[in-house]
Structure formats: structure tokens, C-alpha cells
Amino acid sequence: MVYNCTMKFLPSIVAYFFEDRSAKANVSALLRFVVLLAGIMVASALAFQHIMLWEGREYSFIQGFYWTVVTMTTLGYGDITFYSDLGKAFSVLVLLSGVLFLLVMLPFTFIRFFYAPWLEAQNRARTPRKLADDARGHVLLGSFDPLVANLIEKLRRFNYDYAIIVPEQQQALDLYNQGYRVMLGELDDIGTYRNAHAEHASLVFFNGGDYINTHAIFTLREHSTSAPVVATAHSPDSVDILELAGASQVYQFSGMLGRSLARRVLGVGMHANVIGRFGQTLIAEFPAMRTKLEGRSISEARLRELSGVNVVGVWDRGSFSPASAATVMGTHTVLVLAGSQSQLEQFSNLFGAHDPVRDPVLIIGAGNEGTAAAHALKEVGVAYRVVEKSSGVAGGQSGQGGHTGDGEDQTGHDDTVLGNAADIMTLKRAGIDQAPSVIITTKDDDVNIYLTIYCRKLRPDIQIISRATQERSIPKLHAAGADLVMSYASMGANTVINYLKGDDVLMVAEGLDVFRETVPASLAGKTLAQSEIRSLTGCNVVSIESRTQGTFINPDPGYVLKQTDELILIGSFEAEHRFQRLFKAK
């Protein structure tokens, strides 16, 4: 366990008051005030007795103390009163002292010297500076952003303990209150990694700026040379430096996303785009928009018969569903295919031929994603125009966010149109009227939704491909008119999980996994068709690895399953759990 339950709440809070120097001083000050207040009350009770004797009446000390408490707290029952002016003056004095000491100073002193330290002790218990001594196999996260939030959901799914290393107490509390596990520590302090038991971690992930990541990795390596470290690089030039600092693997997610966006442009991505590889089995995507498949069902297209590929499911406006023979491929359908390299090439030859792109593709935003998309289009000979708001893109950094993106422009002056993409004249200068596709790459989802609606209004027939930062923005972008949406957070989290899981699981897209299972005893001896895996669970068997016969990609339904065989399946998280429940438990 990353966290030891005894570290939380009462035991650690009590220990804080006995061990922390400032806490002990606060408690001491509070006790001195309480002693002073008790002394005043005792003195007032004794004075009450003497004044009452002077008036000719006799009361016990308990009665005097009772009168003192009632008077100081301003309750004033009136059952015991003085007759003389001296007694009434004394009553006023006791009343005013009660207002001062009980109603003003006591609450202030209690809050200042006890309640506030108590809250601080609770906060310290919730945000520890050290993980439990038995922490093993956990994942350490060096920052928090939408990508990390998405990654944490996947870590929970695979039952990985984790901790977000946070330098500030308030940020740590905010994350804790949102349900995240946190640990206070500075990324450039070797003690942080010692307290986090980084040497026993399954993975340490740094997703900050390039300079911060480099410093953090270099510091971590002083403590452990063996901990697996994955880092992100915002600049291509930083990849080598991060590796020199000690990173096990460096990903430039913005560049990966930009190239993926470009591959989906009509006339560029009109072939099966490989999105994952599991041994010899390839998983690919193919958009049906403006192809000979649009408007046809899978059975009518005879995809498996003609190419050998297996259609394992379809994406439609960001929603994945298993494919059936009756599934009709529409404008927004993206096929998810499984097959060998030769099968996918055959599929592309049959269904991927298209007229070349003649007019420039619009890229809104000259940041890292926009630049990577432009380079990817240039490599395949497709013209493009980059629309950028900031005049500084010619040789420097533009501002963060904005209507047209952010980052450094490396596309060149001839292919860049300066101006606001929300201005119709800017878009017309860029060629919106003739462009076959527009790629929206800004980091601000609000801006992306705004521009998607605008471009769809201007050109109902244009292909719109958009970047999303937050997962919740994906359906909104589809509803706004985007044909294809790619999530930065999802792509990055999937990539990190794939590195962490190795050959056990391959996450090819949000909610879609390729995973390995040994043939359950309940299915041994049955044919693949008799097993009814697809109909019962929603999983597709994309290949079978036999110890004696090798690998069968898209195996024949008549294949007889052996208990020593390994199934390579693809399906949603829910489908995987149905498989486990129906077959593995038997």
C-alpha cells in the first residue's frame, strides 16, 4: 500500500501536537490562558462571598462560582443579586471581564492556538511527506494536468497505487479533496524520492516543462538508477537531453498528436492507419467518409472476404461499439481493423484509393501540434496553410491559448496566414472556401468548439478534425460539427499505460484495449465459433498464438481452441470484465 492508514487522522494529529515545536508552543499558550481565566473566575467567586458577607448574607463557594459563571457568560438568571452599590459595581466588573475574556479572548485564543493548529495537523495527515514503508509497485506522478487525471483513471482500473508529488500544501489539499492521492515534496529534492520509495516504483512519470523534467530526472537518478522513468518533451530538441538526464523513455505527445491529426485528412489518411501493434497483430483505423464504403453495410462490402481484415468495431462521433454484419458505415464512421501487415495493405489497396488533395489544408494554430501536422502533410506532398493570430510566430513563441493556437511556428512564412481565425477575412485569405479539410489544434477546448461551429457554418461540407484537451470536450466537439476528434489526454495516458503494462495490455484508444488471455478450461476443445466469445462478451479474438503452430491472425471460426493457446482479444473495459466473469471464473 502506498498509504498507511495509521498515518491519517487521530494518531498522527495527536503526535503532531506533542512533537512539533510550534504546536507545543501553541498548546502551552492556550493552557496559560485557561489557567488565567480559571484564576479570575475563582477570585471573583471568593470576592462574591466577601461582599455578600458585608451585606449580611452568607453563600458557599460553589454558589459564588455559579454566580460568577452566570454573570461572566451574560446569562444573568437574576436568582442571586447584590443590594449594595459596591455589589452592583462588582457585578458590572465581572460582567465586563466575562465579555472580554469569555466572549472575545477565549474564542480567539482557542482558534489561534488550538483549532487552527488542529486543522493544520489534519492537513498534514492528509498530505504526507512520506509514503508507507511497504510501498512497492506504485506509480509516482510529478505533476497534475488533464493527461495525468486521465492516466490516474487508468491506473485505478489496473489496480496500481499512485501518488502525485506536489510542492505546495494548498494544491495538495485541493487534489486530496478531489479524491486524489498526494505527497508533499519538491521535485528537485533527492529526499522527495527517498520518501516516495522511488526505487521500488513501477514507474515515475514527469509531465512538466522540459527544464523542470530534466532537473527532476537528474535528481531522481542520484537516488535510484533503476527506477523506470517516462517523461514528456514539449520541444523536439529536449528529447535527447531528457534521455541524457536519465529518462528511460521520452515522448513528445504534442508531435505525436499533430501527426495523428494530419493522417486523418481526406486524401492523406485514406488507407488503414496503424494505431497499435500487439506482436504480429496490427490494429488500424480507417475513416469511411467519402470512400466507396460510405453508406454500405459491412456484409455488403465483404471486407473480410476480400482483404482478410477483421472489423472489430466502429467509432461514431467518439462513441465505440462492436461491429456486426449489419453495421452501416456512415460519414462519421471510423472502422477499427485488426489484421497482419499484408492484410491491411490489401484493404488499403481495395478501399483506400482517392483523388489527391489539390487545395491546401487549413491548420489553425502554429503550436507544436500545428507544426507537427504541417510537417506530416509536407512529407506526403499535401499543401497546407497555417492560420496563426500572433505576429511573433515568424521566429518566436506566441501566447498561450488564444483564437489560433500557441507555440513556435516552424512552418515557414509562405505557408502562414497571420490573423484571427474567428475573422472571416482571415479564413478566406487562408482558403477556407476551397480547403478540403481544417485541422484545429489549439490547447483551449473553448476556442476549439467555437472555431468548429464557425467553420461548420462557413463550410457545411468541409472535413473538420479537432484536438481536445479535456475528455469531456470530445462529445461537445462532435456535437459542434467536428468529424474527428483526438484527445491529447487520452493519447498520452494510453501511451504511458502501454509502456507500464508491456505485453499484457495495449490501449489503442479511449475505452478500447487489446489484451492477452490463456484459453480458459471451459473453452478448451471448442471451436472459436462454438465459444461464442464475441456474442457473449463483446470481445473480438483478433489472433491466436499456438505453442506448436505459431500465430493465427483473424483465425478461422472453425479453429479448435487448446488450453495452451493464448487468445489476443480486443474490446472495451466492460467487455474484458465480461470475459473474465463468464470464462475465467469457471
CATH top class, domain 10-125? mainly alpha
In this structure, what C-alpha cell is assigned to residue 584?
475465467
- Distances in Å between the Cα of 313 and the Cα atoms of 38, 92, 169, 265, 512 are 77, 85, 45, 21, 10
**Fold that domain 361-490 belongs to in CATH:** Rossmann fold (3.40.50)
Specify which residues 182 forms β-bridges with.
Answer: 164
Specify which residues 417 forms β-bridges with.
Answer: 387
Sign of CA dihedral 237, 243, 246, 248: positive
User: What pLDDT, on a 0 to 100 scale, did the predictor assign at position 396?
Assistant: 40
Specify which residues 546 forms β-bridges with.
Answer: 550
Are 268 and 290 within 8 A, CB to CB?
A: no
> What CA–CA distance (Å, rounded) separates 544 from 516?
10
Measured from the Cβ of residue 358, the count of other Cβ atoms closer than 10 Å reads 10
In this structure, what C-alpha cell is assigned to residue 426?
482571415
User: What pLDDT, on a 0 to 100 scale, did the predictor assign at position 103?
Assistant: 78
User: What pLDDT, on a 0 to 100 scale, did the predictor assign at position 473?
Assistant: 92
User: What pLDDT, on a 0 to 100 scale, did the predictor assign at position 77?
Assistant: 73
Give, as one character, the DSSP assignment of residue 541. Answer: E
> How would you class 316 by CB atoms within 10 Å of its CB: exposed for 0-12, middle for 13-18, buried for 19 or more?
middle
DSSP labels for 116-174?
HHHHHHHHHHHS-SS--TT--S-EEES--SHHHHHHHHHHHHTT--EEEEES-HHHHHH
The correct CATH number of 139-251 out of 3.40.50.720, 3.30.920.30, 3.20.10.10, 3.40.50.300 is 3.40.50.720
**Fold that domain 511-584 belongs to in CATH:** Alpha-Beta Plaits (3.30.70)
> What CA–CA distance (Å, rounded) separates 267 from 433?
18
In this structure, what C-alpha cell is assigned to residue 328?
452501416
Q: What does residue 78 show for φ and ψ, rounded to 5 degrees?
A: 85, 5
Are 256 and 491 within 8 A, CB to CB?
A: yes
Do the strands 229-232 and 249-251 form a parallel or antiparallel pair, or are they unpaired?
parallel
- Distances in Å between the Cα of 290 and the Cα atoms of 296, 343, 543 are 12, 22, 30
HEC assignment per residue over 216-238: HHHHHHHHCCCCCEEEECCCCCH
> What CA–CA distance (Å, rounded) separates 500 from 502?
6
User: What pLDDT, on a 0 to 100 scale, did the predictor assign at position 206?
Assistant: 97
Measured from the Cβ of residue 36, the count of other Cβ atoms closer than 10 Å reads 13
Q: Where are the domains of the chain?
A: 10-125, 139-251, 271-351, 361-490, 511-584
| Strands laid side by side in the 437-440 sheet | 416-418, 384-388, 361-364, 437-440, 463-468, 484-487
Are 228 and 425 within 8 A, CB to CB?
A: no
Successive 10-residue mean pLDDT values, the chain, 586 residues:
48 55 71 86 92 90 91 82 89 88 77 69 72 93 94 90 92 89 94 96 96 97 95 93 96 92 76 80 85 89 89 80 86 87 89 73 92 91 90 44 41 73 93 94 94 95 92 90 89 90 71 84 92 88 88 90 91 84 72
HEC assignment per residue over 347-380: HHHHHCCCCCCCCCEEEECCCHHHHHHHHHHHHC
Q: Which CATH architecture has domain 271-351?
A: 2-Layer Sandwich (3.30)
| DSSP percent split of the chain into helix, strand, coil, nearest 5 | 45, 20, 35
> How would you class 240 by CB atoms within 10 Å of its CB: exposed for 0-12, middle for 13-18, buried for 19 or more?
exposed
> What CA–CA distance (Å, rounded) separates 165 from 146?
16
| pTM for this model (two decimals) | 0.72
Counts for the chain of helices (H) and strands (E), in that order: 23, 22
Q: Please tell me if the domain spanning 271-351 has the same topology as the one spanning 361-490.
A: no
Q: Which residues of 274-302 are buried (b: 16+ CB within 10 A; e: fewer)?
A: ebbebeebbbbbbbbbbbebeebebeebe
In this structure, what C-alpha cell is assigned to residue 197?
520509495
> What CA–CA distance (Å, rounded) separates 504 from 516?
6
CA 68-71-74 angle, 5° bins:
145
